[in-house]
Chains A and B, each alone.
Chain A
Amino acid sequence: MKIIVCIKQVPDSAAKVVVEGGKVSWGDAPLVINPWDEYAVEAALQQKEALGGTVTAISIGGESAKEAIKHALAMGADDAILISDPALANLDTQAAAQVLAAAIRKAGGVDMAFFGRQAIDGDSGITPSQTARLLGWPALTLSAVIKVDGGNVRVERAIEEGRQIVTAKLPAVFSLVKDFGEPRYPSFMGIRKASRAEIPAWSLGDLGMVAPATVISWPEVMNPPSREVTCEVIGGGSPQEIAEKLADKILAEKIL
């Protein structure tokens, strides 16, 4: 079973992210492997343990993306590929999907392509299905349970209404939720191996493609409107009236 896990390097989720001079800044908070991708690596390692085979981590980025890759190697991934090219600096999900699909094709013989359910910077969660569409593979997003049997796979997908049980033939693209269990710690042996690993880099030329066009842009990034520090006390003639007012205020904030 040849498994590829697509990982992304993002600012630590605890980082204070603000807009400075029109640009997103996270100060000196470290860049880490996208937390959802860590769960995807764990799921991939579990599949490898059950079925045999290899796990390869791939990531699009510059030198700093190597840290996320090394973490995946230290957890137990067999090898890794960095896709690096100056033309890949600002990608939207559509462009990223094109690059990842090309890399998966170039890697060859891939049975399962794993993704975390979303990246905590862009928060869009559509790259997995877009990559599947380009490859012409089944998109088994939000998989909570994966059972492989020969060339077939059966998954339980986590949808709003509970679980949807879907079967398909491999190769397929999966995005994973948390149900596979907490990601394992890197072993010490894994840490040694990872810190010494030479990670091959593929450029756009290696993928046989030109820079994909990006159609989504962020002309403006803002800090959210600062919330009032003063408390607005809701009064009214009856509990029902107060409750109605309060419920309306809460719903107006669009967080439910």
Chain B
Amino acid sequence: MKTWVYVDHFKGQVLPASWEAIGAGKTLGTVTALVFGSGVEALAKTAFTYGADEVFLADDPALADYRSEAYASTLSSLAAEHKPDAILFPTTTRCREMAGMVAMDLKTGVMVDVTALELQGDRIVATRPIYAGKLLTKETCSASPQIATLRGRAFPKPAADTGKSGTPTKVAAKVEALTNVEGYATTEGGVSLIDAGVIVSGGRGVSNNPTLTPPGGLDEKQTEIWRAQQGFALVKDLAAVLGAAVGASRAAVDAGYVPYMHQVGQTGKVVSPDLYIACGISGAIQHLAGMRTSKMIVAINKDAEAPIFKVARYGVVGDLYQIIPALTAAFKSKLGK
């Protein structure tokens, strides 16, 4: 199978899911990577190190900013000429649109946000979540090229082999302009609990670290709060690495460790993230009422008998002051942050 893989990038950085898509493409056959932009030759060369057999490079000042109409037209005209069997994209805001538009141009279809690929004869069978992940479907596309966007981190990232190199093939850019990019802005604000895909929560146990020495002059209650804030700092670090929201049990809020807006539970917010990491939370029924429908629950608690372990998929019986920083470091390296 001749598969094309679109390499998505922003301000000179490639989105790692693009490399994963190259890896997935290699399991189907040969891979031609596509790099579009302005001054992006270096990215094109990197594509070889991740396994691309060939790279098409459309490097043009008119493509400096991503614009769907120009990028889609560039890709569609190339595909009409070279007729690949399949085109893979990482699922990103840019690529969803582009894949959709290219499919309309080429009179084919897109399988969006795929988590697994198989080949049956010359047909790709793509597994993807539907109904907000409540169900899975195995989709096929009866036309050619078969186009799919791949969910980030659903496919393994190939190891980069700096020994591999090649010369990108220069291709023409289509520079049509229906839109004009004025610039970019950053957005403020943490992740909201209700919308969060990942939540890291702290409970009573977060204050339980006798080895820390509090500053002088604090009474018993203030010392407890100080300890808890050290613990919540660890929770927040882990949340930051995971792009997660920070939650808390009622016990932690009542004790004054964190403000009420973070409370998860019967009183407080009911959440349904993909991943809920409960740190130092015992798992009483009124907390469970607020997070029970999380797709996956991970619990870290000193007490092996804590009820939270009954609903957790993975658990660690240990000291969260040791485990959470280690987990933060592990994710940092594995997520390439």
Contacts and interface: CB of A to CB of B under 8 A. Distances in A.
Do A and B touch, yes or no (CB under 8 Å, in the complex)?
Answer: yes
Given A215-B108, A231-B312, A165 B113 contact: no
Interface stretch (A61-69, A105-113, A193-201, A232-240): A232-240
A142 B96 CA distance: 11
Given A138-B69, A215-B143, A224-B134, A243 B329 contact: yes
Chain B, interface size category, equals 35 or more
Interface in B171-208: 178-187, 197-198
Contact of B109 (A16, A94, A120, A167): A94
A232 to B, nearest CB: 5
A245 B315 CA distance: 11
B132 A13 contact: yes
B296 A227 contact: yes
A163 B185 contact: yes
A161 interface: yes
B11 A217 contact: no
Interface stretch (A1-9, A40-48, A126-134): A126-134
B9 to A, nearest CB: 11
Interface string B197-221: 1100000000000000000000000
Interface in B43-93: 65-69, 72, 92-93
Contacts of B315: 231-234
Interface in A145-163: 154, 156-163
Nearest to A167: B180
A29 to B, nearest CB: 11
B182 A233 contact: no
A79 to B, nearest CB: 28
B104 interface: yes
A210 interface: no
A138 B104 CA distance: 15
Residue of A222, A242, A248, A256 with most chain B CB atoms under a 10 A cut-off: A256
Interface in B320-337: 322-323, 325-327, 329-331, 334-335
A166 B179 contact: yes
B10 A161 contact: yes
A140 interface: yes
Nearest to A256: B153
Contacts of A239: 318-319, 322-323, 325-326
Given A162-B185, A165-B182, A216-B139, A254 B151 contact: yes
Nearest to A10: B131
A141 B95 CA distance: 12
Contacts of A165: 181-185
A19 B310 CA distance: 27
A218 interface: yes
The majority secondary structure among interface residues of chain B is: mixed
A88 to B, nearest CB: 16
A206 interface: no
A168 B242 CA distance: 36
A242 B151 CA distance: 27
A82 B333 CA distance: 52
Interface residues of A, number: 78
Contact of A246 (B109, B143, B184, B316): B316
A97 B326 contact: no
A221 B274 contact: no
A180 interface: no
B299 A231 contact: yes
A137 B68 CA distance: 11
Interface in B85-117: 92-94, 96-101, 103-105, 108-113, 115
A184 interface: no
B313 A215 contact: no
A122 interface: yes
A227 B182 CA distance: 47
Contacts of B109: 92-94, 214-216
B317 interface: yes
Contacts of A255: 197-198, 274-275, 295-296
Given A234-B314, A255-B295, A160 B137 contact: no
B93 A159 contact: yes
Interface of A: 11, 13, 16-19, 24, 92-94, 97, 120-127, 129-130, 132-134, 136-142, 154, 156-169, 214-224, 227-228, 231-234, 239-240, 242-244, 246-251, 253-256
24 contacts: A93-B109, A93-B110, A94-B104, A94-B109, A125-B96, A126-B100, A129-B98, A129-B100, A132-B101, A139-B178, A139-B179, A163-B186, A165-B181, A215-B108, A218-B139, A220-B137, A223-B135, A227-B296, A239-B318, A239-B326, A243-B323, A251-B334, A253-B296, A255-B197
A-B interface, 5 closest residue pairs, ranked by CB to CB distance from nearest = A126-B100, A243-B326, A215-B109, A124-B112, A239-B322
